[in-house]
Structure 1
């Protein structure tokens, strides 16, 4: 029988036929797809005709279609709906895929053809987008080690294979720690918890098979527990479990894995002739050098730390006034910050949350996209990989543009965090293909589904990534959508968050779950005024993580990453009551793969741009200004990686931004 992954997909818009695909189909499909891709690479490399853009670069662009199908389906379910079999397959696939890509990048005949074209690039008569693809292809081969010989070449293959294994182990260990721990609550343990937290805790009880409500390590459940529980002993227990993920000893401990990953990255950089991994990694980013990254982070660290320390003194006095003893601890900060928010802004999260329905916030994101870019969303009835998933046909002027899939609720089979990925990316070569884009979140599941304000911001953030994919309009898949510099990729996502705070958006879509009444204007104004509340805390926990990531890679690899983390935080004067947003053993951004290694700073680099970019709409006097929206799509969202990101931003804004808009937007400007 034909493997359902490799067959022609006779589904609406050729969405993967998840209802026909079983776990037993992945391994044989991968075997076929890898062999097919190997044959395609060999045919390109051994082509007797002289190298041309068509028979080499475009041939590379058109190769591996079946491999794309296998990997897009597998990694979608492995991340969002894992099980022991899928974890086993992931452990098997990772080194095989690393070896496969390493062999391609080390193919001397193939690299010779690319290098020949690069040497003659000025004589090939290429269009600008083709020049960009050629440059990126050549650079990718060189940075992958294609120019290495002998022992260095062999060692590079070993390093890549080992890093793939370690990244998978890190991710699976973290998932295991997050899914196994829970804290069951008795009636005496519920003091202070609002109804929406109780509803989420009772929903989580069913998954864990417990009798009473449970608190899990899902961010959408543990954070509100830390905000509202008046039981300091339980807050401490929950926080310490959250902070200990990946560092509990035994088979799921990630500390030794992190150390080995850092050492291998350093060796990889040295083989390629770089001083350290940060220098290697940042060469292709907007920042270019570790020094520029550190300059940005330290420009923000000073104001953020000062604000956090002042806030911490206020929270400590509040705790002592209630009879609490000793220092303010990390499990106290959110609790007293929530009390302060209610006192300073008369803003109660429990009163706010009924106005932030998941369905209405998603509708708000769709409506903003429609007003800005003219896109429309029609519900689509298709089988997906989990009953929680929903799909929409995205159109403009009646023409199909993309498929959007939303998977919003936390479950034990889903890794933590939120992300956007394209199961199929936009391209026009070798055939026109429209994107299939998915947003995955970890919101607490309840009936009805209600969000915190931070959850709503996350929904808008990930949808901003989705728009970058769905509005892409380039020829070649390798530069489509979010295939851009890491410190540029967060610009569309963080920029789209601003539309959540547009008063008319909240007035229309923030409606009460029971009465349907719009959010009262007074509450809406308090929400907007409180947008920068506790920003010292939020900025410190983020910048500390970004600086630790940078210091891990900007110099010799630390033998003991935990000791290095401690020394970096000590040098910064990290406030005692604030933890890193992602401590080393759970820092999946950095250790589950190379994506954000030396690159966690990129959210802030992009924020410098997104604050400045939204200011251009404000300067136009209209958050939905048609000319600004068209420029945003024409110069950024549709361009993917087809041009240098600095040039794209300057085409949109006329100049590059400074840090001032960011500090103002975070309420940290002096």
Structure 2
């Protein structure tokens, strides 16, 4: 999952789990200044320009909670003053006197929000969550004063309309289109009464998103499953040691702990022989936000859906999905649904086959049970062994995090010509001792590209999952800015002296998120807004990079046994490749069910919706197999309800995967395979470097010579190709 910190409104898309940069009210009279804090801000570290090497770096080691509110308020005040300068300009609007200063505005706030995003996603605490609650409505009001500023919009509109008659350079034209469209989509042309309601809706939504996210985090922190020594059946030595450390860290010396996160839950369900405890761990995880207590999210979801629909109706749209998808690759909900419905029947049919195989194994073992959701991973692993003689835990012994990191660097060097060099310890401030930093340079010119931060381990206050983000993006319009990018994971921290061993799925995710980082590093855009993403395209680059994990170069060079140092044997590699489409029913169905639910929720009438009933009835209509559950059940679907980045856009992973499979097919056919230099150059030139400076559909055509088709996707998953 790709994540960017929220910066100036419309200059970057707010992705899941961060603040939503949403448009609200503006009047033509001069606004009252943003509330100031009595605390002095002149010496506030969060506001200060970044100093030091590498083009300046954030002072993560000096950030304090007490500085957040005064810094945020000062940052908002400064940006509004910069906007006032633009709107008070008496000269005719032009690209130079309107768009350029708009792109420059908000540098102070941008710096503050870098720190804020770290605290929100990586170091959240009860004290920080209280601050979040205070700031959410203030930030919403602030964004209102920009997105609904009629004087600003009129200047932008004038420049945009003039450029339709006399087109500018391609990147300037694209920039104007994105800025104008986003203002229009967020109510810039509404009358004052509708703007007022639009603002009120956004203010309420901003608080609801914060509450939703914090409720999920609370349920992750509050539900830890403790085990005794006689309940460890099936778990590997490394898992047991890690579980002991987690329990010890939580004051339960002598016990073993499974945390309520995917990285802890999934391997436990795969290997534990304790069915009753598997059920408990499964229910803890999939009931996040759905426990009927203080942290229950169902009523919050209903309010969010109701407010979203009312807001887009102010703009003349029937439903939220139609509004949201107008500037995505899919364009309409119908197009997105067509893709999902084309894949869904094959996915659930494959699940039926998988369950049949698992039930046979259970029956043969005399286990006397019917496969339930908490059994799926456990028996799927047994089927994998039976069908392919492939033991996931055996593979895991060759998947060391440090070696996989080196594999990432190898691929980046071969495809992008980048070198990654560890920075001297202590030379770059970090926000936690687990974070490591590398200097990224061009292999040919030795030019500095940026810094890569890696934050690999789970901890209290860190949201679950894996993501990528930027602390600074590449631009050149106001002096060249180098990239500060971060990858964040939730691997279980091992016992001291033990290696970090990960599953093949987790290794794939590691490559995926690094794909986002490479997308950041390879940017060659001039203007900040052009670093923004198109939601059903932005996952494509990262999903494509996953494919390099299974290339012979990576397997042969970096998959070595953590104890013996021996390379992974050829017979095991062959088993991995033969089992490539194994369990695709589960993987596709659990994802696609969430994507379909996201779309259907936003197409439904939310006025009398009961979330539990809607989820249940929708899954019944879809004929969802009872043996598994959605990857993200509605009450904890943070992609969709912690912000708006993936709302009606979770389908985008599938849309992007169509492009991924098609592009991977091109590499498979190239003379040099996945390391073909000519094709790699085209990949970087057309699909990574332009970011959003080129329409994604056109960019893909420039790379492939044609549009992508669904056939390669179906082949990759081992599904029958739909008849046309």
TM range (shorter): over 0.9
Partners of 1:222 and 1:112 in 2: how far apart? 52
- Please list, as runs of the form range in 1=range in 2, the aligned pairs for 1:81-96 lying within 5 A after superposition: 81-96=123-138
Equivalent position of 1:12 in the other structure: 53
Instruction: Say which of 35, 60, 77 aligns to 2:77.
Output: 35
Contact 1:660 1:669 in 2 (8 A): no
The residue aligned with 1:251 is: 294
Select which of 478, 493, 511 maps to 1:430.
478
Q: CA deviation at 1:196?
A: 2.6
Pick from 408, 414, 419 the counterpart of residue 467 of structure 2: 419
Match of 1:302 in 2: 345
Cα contact 2:144–2:199 (8 A) shared by 1:
yes
1:534-586 deviations in Å (ceiling 9; x for gaps): 11011111111100100011242262122111111101110011100000011
Higher alpha-carbon deviation: 308-317 or 295-304? 308-317
Instruction: Give runs of ≥4 in structure 1 deviating > 4 Å.
Output: none
Aligned partner of 2:682 in structure 1 is 631
Structure 1 pair 24–634 and aligned structure 2 pair: CA distance change class (3 A): same
1:494 paired with 2:543, answer yes
- The question of 1:392 aligning with 2:438 is answered yes
Task: Assess if the C-alpha contact under 8 Å between 1:62 and 1:429 holds in 2.
Answer: no
Q: Does 1:159 align with 2:201?
A: yes
Q: CA deviation at 1:25?
A: 1.4
Q: Is the Cα–Cα contact under 8 Å of residues 269 and 278 in structure 2 kept in the other structure?
A: yes
Once residues 320 and 66 of structure 1 are traced to their aligned partners in structure 2, the CA distance between those partners, rounded to angstroms, is: 64
Partner of 1:552: 601
Aligned to 1:571: 621
Deviation at 1:281, TM superposition (A): 0.5
Task: Tell me the C-alpha RMSD between the 2 structures.
Answer: 1.2
Q: Which residue of 2 aligns with 1:645?
A: 696
Q: CA deviation at 1:207?
A: 3.0
Question: Quick check: 1:357–1:451 contact (8 Å CA) kept in 2?
Answer: yes
Q: How does 1:504-583 map to 2 (within 5 A)?
A: 504-557=553-606, 559-583=609-633
Matched, 1:608 2:658: yes
Q: Deviations over 1:631-663 (max 9, x none)?
A: 011111100101111000000111111111111
1:665 counterpart residue number: 716
Report if the CA contact (8 A) 2:434-2:457 is conserved: yes
Distance in 2 of aligned mates of 1:168 and 1:474:
32
**Structure 2 partner of 1:355:** 398
Deviation at 1:124, TM superposition (A): 4.6
Q: Which residue of 2 aligns with 1:404?
A: 452
Secondary structure in structure 1 of the residue aligned to 2:397: helix
Structure 2 match to 1:445: 493
- 5+ unaligned residues in a row in structure 1: which ranges? none
Cα distance, 1:125 vs. partner?
4.9
| Aligned match of 1:3 | 44
**Deviations 1:265-305 (Å, cap 9, x if unpaired)?**
11111011111000001111000011111110011101111
Contact 2:175/2:529 (<8 A) preserved = yes
Q: Does 1:314 align with 2:391?
A: no
Q: SS state of the match for residue 437, structure 1?
A: strand
Distance 1:124 1:52 in 2: 12
Question: How far apart are the structure 1 equivalents of 2:713 and 2:135?
Answer: 41
Determine helix, strand or coil for the equivalent of 1:403: strand
For residues 322 and 89 of structure 1, the distance between their equivalents in structure 2, rounded to whole angstroms, comes to 54
> Contact 2:471/2:485 (CA < 8 Å) preserved in 1?
yes
Moved more, 439-448 or 587-596: 439-448
Q: Tell me which protein shows more helix as a share of its residues.
A: 1
Q: CA deviation at 1:321?
A: 2.6
Give the match's secondary structure for 1:439.
strand
**Deviations along 1:112-147, whole A, 9 cap, x unmatched?**
111111221134551111011111111111111111
Decide whether the 8 Å contact of 1:191 with 1:231 is kept in 2.
yes
Does structure 2 retain, via aligned residues, the 8 Å contact 1:402–1:470?
A: yes
Give the alignment of 1:66-465 within 5 angstroms: 66-211=108-253, 212-380=255-423, 381=425, 382-396=428-442, 397-446=445-494, 447-465=498-516
Aligned-partner Cα distance in 1 for 2:94–2:300: 43
Where 1:544 maps in the other structure, the secondary structure is helix
Q: 1:432 deviation in Å? A: 1.3
- With the length of structure 2 as denominator, give the TM-score of the two structures: 0.91
Q: Does structure 1 retain, via aligned residues, the 8 Å contact 2:148–2:187?
A: yes
Task: Output one character per residue of 1:226-253: Cα deviation in whole Å (capped at 9) or x when no partner.
Answer: 0111111111111111111011122111
The answer to whether structure 1 residue 590 and structure 2 residue 640 are counterparts is yes
Residues 122-131 or 103-112, more deviating:
122-131
Give a deviation string over 1:469-512, Cα, whole Å, max 9, x none: 010001001112xx121000001000000000102211110011
Supply the distance in 2 between the matched residues of 1:107 and 1:307 (Cα, whole angstroms). Answer: 52
Q: Which range is displaced more, 13-22 or 327-336?
A: 13-22
Contact 1:290 1:550 in 2 (8 A): yes
1:247 match: secondary structure: coil
Given that residues 63 and 115 in structure 2 are in contact (C-alpha distance below 8 angstroms), is that contact kept between their aligned partners in structure 1? no
Q: Is the Cα contact below 8 Å between 1:532 and 1:667 reproduced in 2?
A: yes
Tell me, in whole angstroms, the C-alpha distance in 1 between the residues paired with 2:52 and 2:489: 25
| Aligned 8 A contact 1:200 1:221 in 2 | no
How many residue pairs align between the two structures? 668
Partner of 2:88: 46
Output the CA distance in 1 between the equivalents of 2:577 and 2:71. Answer: 51
Cα distance, 1:444 vs. partner? 1.3
Say if 2:148 and 2:195, in contact at 8 Å, map to a contact too: yes
Moved more, 3-12 or 43-52: 3-12
Write the distance in 1 (CA, Å) between the matches of 2:480 and 2:679: 28
Decide whether the 8 Å contact of 2:408 with 2:514 is kept in 1: yes
Mapped to 1, the partners of 2:529 and 2:208 lie a distance apart of 26
Q: CA deviation at 1:200?
A: 2.4
Contact 1:76 1:423 (C-alpha < 8 Å) held by counterparts? no
